[in-house]
Amino acid sequence: MHDFVVVGAGPAGARFARSAADRGRDVLVLEQGEIGLPLACSGHVSLDVWEYVPDEARDELFQNDIYGARFHVGGPETAGEPFYKREVISNAIDRVGLDKALARAAGDAGADVRDEHTVTDVEERRDRVVVTASGPDGVDVHEARMVVGADGPRSRVREACDLPEPREFLHGVLGFDTEPDAQDYVDVHLTVPRFFAWRIPRGDDGVEYGLAAKPGDDVSGRFDRLCEEYGVTLDRRCSGLIPIGPPKRVTGHRSLLVGDAAGQTKPFTGGGILYGMRAADHAAREVNPEWPATLDDYEDAWRSELKNEIRLGHAVRLAYSLPRPVQRAGLRALSGEIAVHMDRPSTLFTREGLRALVGR
């Protein structure tokens, strides 16, 4: 019997598998398709991402350095208010390559990572979990002490283990223009109800355009208009769901959720790569598969690191719904050099963060 069966080899599942295997656990990872595909993510991340990536993968994943963002209360024709640092804030990276590098690292640590295996059923019993998967050679049944649902926003594990859903889902859509662009700024357009549209320069890999909105709120029409306003015709488009607001519980009797399955994302950007991996590390450290009571320790640990940031992230997101004149005045007053970490809105309230805001 395995210690853990991990469903999904995205960043959260692969990171959990690596951390748990490093601790000597027997870990089986089942991924439904080719690792990293289909792409549905900008791969715009804080520099913290490099703590999780093996050194040798760094050069192949890096695309562009980002120093700041221009916030627009309107489309590309409006002047944006710049928020920036003198040093690099974030990177645009190859997201497909990231998943592959993280899965390789999990395999190197001793996890058994199998792609092309779709989990179709999960049964939690008193003393074990039984996971059914279909793969190239037919249907397999795996037994483990625990199952880890790292299977993204529409998690099958979450549903099978009767765990609650995240509070909200957004529908994100993005597309790529091949024209190289290595400028230092991303553009953010506060033109979408309760969220935003974006433009990310990706160096030699071109430019990405995207937006996220409530599902059903004319997401593709809005995206077409964004592309028209920028005067671009995109050859590659993709889309995915973004969960916002983790549910009250992400653990069951012998089950736990990590990453998007658990709604571990930043409410003000939808970014979940780093929160998911941080939570995965807590899970691997706290959960002893022989002792289901340790699942509570995982709940406590990840919430104590991320709960406050997520709460502040919700507060930041409220600003996207302010009346336009207030947004304009606020952006004008606050723009300039900042000292905020892009994953931690709490850094706004550090001495350095406040000094940067009031000292201009």
Ligand X SMILES: Cc1cc2nc3c(=O)[nH]c(=O)nc-3n(C[C@H](O)[C@H](O)[C@H](O)COP(=O)(O)OP(=O)(O)OC[C@H]3O[C@@H](n4cnc5c(N)ncnc54)[C@H](O)[C@@H]3O)c2cc1C
Site residues (vs ligand X, CB under 6 A): 7-13, 30-33, 40-45, 118-119, 150-152, 156, 172, 174, 210, 240, 242, 259-261, 265, 270-274, 276
**Stretch (H or E) spanning 326:** helix 324-334
Nearer to ligand X, 159 or 336 (CB): 159
Sequence-distant (≥ 6) Cβ neighbours of residue 307 within 8 angstroms: none
Which is closer to ligand X, CB of 58 or CB of 336? 58
> What is the smallest separation between the CB atom of 106 and ligand X, expressed in angstroms?
12
Q: Residue 252 or residue 356: which is nearer to ligand X going by CB?
A: 252
Q: Minimum CB separation from ligand X for residue 6, in Å?
A: 9
In angstroms, give the least distance from the CB of 209 to ligand X: 11
Q: What is the DSSP letter of 225?
A: H
Please state the closest distance from residue 266 (CB atom) to ligand X, in A.
Answer: 7
Number of residues in the chain: 360
Exposed / middle / buried, residue 96 (Cβ in 10 Å: 0-12, 13-18, 19+): middle
Angle at 105 between CA 172 and CA 12, to 5 degrees: 35
The distance of closest approach from Cβ of residue 354 to ligand X in the complex, given in angstroms and rounded to an integer, is: 26
**Residue 27 or 356 with smaller CB distance to ligand X:** 27
Looking up tokens 């040093």 gives 87
The burial class, CB within 10 Å (0-12 / 13-18 / 19+), for 43 is buried
Q: Which CB, 102 or 295, lies closer to ligand X?
A: 102
Shortest Å, Cβ 110 to ligand X: 20
| Closer residue to ligand X in complex, CB, 30/310 | 30
- 3-class secondary structure, 270: coil
Strand, coil or helix: what is 138?
Answer: strand
Phi, psi of 315 (to 5 degrees): -65, -40
* C-alpha closest to that of 240 among 212, 269, 198, 218: 212
